[in-house]
Chains A and B, each alone.
Chain A
């Protein structure tokens, strides 16, 4: 199947969304989608066009057990296996472990500006921290920057809550997702989750502290819609910022508190 002709691409995207593509053809098209951002954009456009048709579908009440099963899968402490894979907003996260080469790749692509921008980030962090009241000091804070300056501020004010505030949003793009990573001193970046393209994102997860532990900096990449399918960054870093931590005593004390979700 050649996917070079624009009209063919659009037609296949339309038929994928419409629903005429089944089974093997559908799966084959999905493999194209994974590696073709323009094709994903085409699919997103068709979704926006066609899916509102559901407005005319007559609702049918599902049985009560569906909700019970959803609750059991997500919140039942006994089904921790599913909980671990679903509660956390980290699609495709932590799939691959042996990716130290990727960190090299990341740092090389992030390039030589890393140190310079890290320094700027530190200055910004110091300014920011100084303005915060002492009793409300975040556990971690970072200002993520690119060449044009600060893009977003990330704060961890609770052991299980990370807040991302966009300072200067990117242009909205329906075909991609922004994915937040934590960069450990060595080894592969770890996915924290997807963030909104503008406004703010709150990422709440039980395992947050463990995920962030030892991380030196946050970074954001623009990935395929839904996040990187490999569990590792596949695109260049858009912005990054080193993490300023509060004294370890405070952080450890907070981290050792029992899980306490909303």
Chain B
């Protein structure tokens, strides 16, 4: 018996190799589904037209926008656009696939699967990483590079740096990472939260001097944004947002919250927080509760909420089991991962205050998957159900349910990618008609780019056939 237990916990190169092999397989499968999607008309064509501008005009111009400060977002798009030399599909879709591989590898490098027990948990963690609803916006769309996914890479890179052995170059890398992330999308500010949060729970890859430099850069960001450039922040009129049981448009938001926007902002923070933990609400809308009140609850929604809630239950059980050590600030590496998830979740929810959108919470979603891994690795049997035959049986049912729910969500994400391919193809097929009805006329270089991308979408890289699995109500395909 003791031998068996020792075997389960023993470090093994084979286990690490198996975990990484599985991770690469999962990334390759998702990559295949991604390559089925043509470059999207709605999200990408307008941006690609803008990318014809010079580097100076494009990037410098971003410092003088209202509400958003995202020069590196455009720099990233411009870089891939220039490198592509007209092979747009190959480069932009290739970049998206490369990002998925990088995400999985950075995730595994951070959570460090070392034993066969770890390797057994990796499928669950990766299903949560790639199947959670907050990841949908990072994979389903591209502009034509998905910069939300870039932020996820920055966040995981920051976590790896924070948990690394202290070196001078770790400080430099952390500072560079922060600058790139913060000037790509606002949620990139979470890089600071991750590094400082990790230090608070004892992960000291970045030195005190490095933390000081990062904090100075954070202060510099706010000075630049608000005092120097006067970029400001999005206001209530910026976009529609979920509230209660439906999405309110900007006029409704102003009518309802114009006098007290803080109520709306507080709602956004709380619902964003809950969304990661319980899979509900989504984008600020309580879909399951609405379904219960109307007597029509889609099975996919129940599965989605069950997966998140069971996973949260596992993390909560771990925290409860480790409470004495946490109070005494005796953190193991798994404790640090779980604690950092809680810190990132809170900070990410606060950043989401202007409007709720699942993808804004995608960094917290990634850290949720890591926390799930760490909790599953660190939890003892007593934490899941106690000892005895009945407790073991209940724990077995719990684990099977948890795995099944996440498997369904993971498959659902892939099926959504396939549906997205059909929609992207149809958008290009009907684009001429749509432009004609809107009175839009494309000329010169704009028309050449349009025809090139349309040919890519309809002839060179047409969407693959739809799958009959998409018709099953078990999967959240929409």
Q: Do A and B bind each other?
A: no
Q: B: which residues have CB within 8 A of A?
A: none
